[in-house]
């Protein structure tokens, strides 16, 4: 094996050990902080219904995977900067650079280190966070003995399903519906029937079972009203689609977002927010590579140029700016109906450009 390759493998292993340890400490601090804030927030409703201290703790624990996913880029940036600055302060990186390690090789090493974290972030965002967040919300709602309000309007939420316009006042934690009205129109957009039901449960694929039904039918003969204890309702709506009411789009998996976005498009409804969230889910793990690029210029730190705490503070500020700027840009994209891919990737691209400029400036010195 060539000495240069062996040297870079040694550097990569050493960097990985230092960076992973630093990221782990940052994650521990951030998760404890966010869990504590969630705990304090939930104490304000503890005591309502059956929402005891045990339920509060369970809710906080179930929200941790969501925090892990959200904080991954921030923790990677702060942790990497901390590790690189400390290594530079001990002159370890200076020795490696003096022995021939180039900036490109350093970037390659950081990319290799980022790959396992990208995979972990993707698994957390797709497999752990969505069901955990949904379970947390269901646990909380069940303990509080409340319903999920769908008050997009005072009359509830309206959903278009083929020739039906469906008004749902509330959805229970088990995704059964309460107080539902179904307005059916013909091809000429004339109202045919109004079906009102107190409850609706998902009986089998493609079919809901309505209970305590009042059906109003309009035809050429006039208006007829019929009361029925039960009635089946064929619909493309599923509990999976309705479960989005329990979890914000940013906490859903990319697959669920794709299904729900397709449903909205088929019914010619606004889907910008969900499309942006879907693309953000696909791009977000690769933001870890951008964070690594952004952290590399800090490896040029010299003790005489300032304290380590200043560099770490700069990393915290950059990480928080990335986190909140990404959310702000996604919200603006949804409000202004911007291109979803652009809305989801713009901030990541800007930070990549900032990192590249910083590296170029460091190399010029």
Three-state secondary structure readout of 105-127: HHHHHHHHHHHHHHHHHHHHHHH
Assigned token pair, 41:
């927030």
Nearest to residue 237, comparing CAs of 173, 156, 182, 169? 182
CB distance 329 to 267 below 8 Å:
no
**DSSP letter string, 81-95:** HHHHHHHHHTTHHHH
Over residues 102-150, the pLDDT tens digits come to 778 888 888 889 999 999 998 998 889 888 988 888 788 778 765 544 4
Give dist(CA 180, CA 195) in Å, integer. Answer: 8
CB distance 242 to 220 below 8 Å:
no
Nearest to residue 195, comparing CAs of 174, 209, 206, 176? 209
Nearest to residue 109, comparing CAs of 21, 1, 2, 19? 19
3-class SS of residue 248: coil
**Rg of the Cα trace of the chain?**
26
Assigned token pair, 133:
């967040």
* Residues sharing a CB contact under 8 Å with residue 66, sequence separation 6 or more, in sequence order: 129, 132, 133, 251
Give dist(CA 316, CA 302) in Å, integer. Answer: 19
pTM score, whole prediction: 0.73
Chain length of the chain: 365
Nearest to residue 45, comparing CAs of 53, 37, 35? 53
Assigned token pair, 231:
């009635």
CB distance 314 to 297 below 8 Å:
no
Assigned token pair, 157:
């939420």
Residue with tokens 């005489």: 304
User: What single DSSP character describes residue 205?
Assistant: T
Nearest to residue 110, comparing CAs of 2, 20, 1? 20
Q: pLDDT tens per residue, the chain (365 residues)?
A: 455 567 678 788 888 899 999 999 999 999 999 999 999 999 988 888 788 899 999 999 999 998 999 889 999 999 998 888 888 777 777 777 777 777 788 888 888 899 999 999 989 988 898 889 888 887 887 787 655 444 445 566 777 777 788 888 777 656 778 889 999 988 887 888 999 999 888 888 888 999 999 999 988 878 888 899 999 988 877 776 666 555 677 778 888 888 878 877 776 777 788 888 889 888 888 889 899 888 888 777 555 445 677 777 888 888 888 888 888 888 888 788 788 888 888 888 899 898 888 888 877 76
Phi, psi of 74 (to 5 degrees): -65, -45
CB distance 171 to 147 below 8 Å:
yes
> Residue 326 to residues 14, 27, 276: CA-CA distances in angstroms?
32, 20, 11
Domain positions in the chain: 3-145+272-364, 163-235
Give dist(CA 230, CA 214) in Å, integer. Answer: 10
């Amino acid at each position: 094996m060539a000495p240069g390759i062996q040297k870079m493998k040694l550097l990569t292993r050493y960097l990985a050990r230092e960076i992973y340890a630093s990221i782990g400490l940052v994650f521990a601090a951030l998760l404890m902080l966010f869990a504590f804030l969630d705990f304090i927030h939930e104490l304000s409703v503890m005591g309502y219904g059956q929402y005891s201290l045990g339920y509060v703790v369970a809710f906080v624990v179930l929200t941790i995977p969501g925090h892990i996913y959200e904080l991954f880029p921030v923790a990677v940036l702060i942790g990497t900067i901390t590790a690189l600055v400390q290594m530079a302060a001990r002159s370890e990186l200076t020795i490696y650079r003096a022995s021939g390690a180039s900036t490109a090789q350093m970037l390659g090493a950081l990319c290799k280190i980022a790959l396992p974290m990208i995979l972990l972030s993707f698994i957390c965002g797709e497999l752990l966070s969505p069901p955990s967040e949904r379970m947390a919300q269901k646990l909380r709602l069940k303990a509080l003995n409340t319903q999920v309000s769908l008050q997009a309007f005072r009359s509830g939420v309206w959903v278009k399903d083929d020739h039906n316009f469906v008004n749902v006042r509330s959805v229970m934690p088990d995704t059964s519906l309460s107080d539902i009205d179904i307005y059916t129109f013909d091809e000429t957009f004339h109202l045919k029937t109004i079906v009102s039901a107190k409850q609706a449960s998902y009986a089998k694929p493609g079919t809901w079972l309505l209970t305590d039904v009042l059906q109003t039918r309009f035809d050429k003969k006039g208006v007829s009203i019929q009361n029925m204890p039960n009635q089946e309702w064929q619909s493309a709506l599923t509990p999976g689609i309705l479960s989005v009411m329990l979890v914000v789009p940013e906490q859903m998996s990319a697959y669920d977002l794709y299904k729900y976005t397709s449903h909205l498009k088929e019914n010619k409804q606004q889907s910008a927010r969900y499309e942006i969230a879907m693309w953000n889910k696909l791009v977000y793990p690769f933001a870890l590579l951008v964070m690594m690029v952004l952290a590399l210029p800090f490896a040029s730190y010299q003790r005489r140029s300032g304290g380590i705490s200043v560099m770490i503070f700069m990393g915290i500020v950059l990480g928080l700016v990335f986190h909140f700027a990404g959310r702000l840009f996604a919200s603006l994209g949804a409000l202004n109906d911007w291109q979803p891919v652009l809305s989801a990737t713009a901030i990541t691209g800007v930070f990549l450009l900032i990192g590249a400029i910083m590296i170029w400036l460091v190399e010029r010195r």
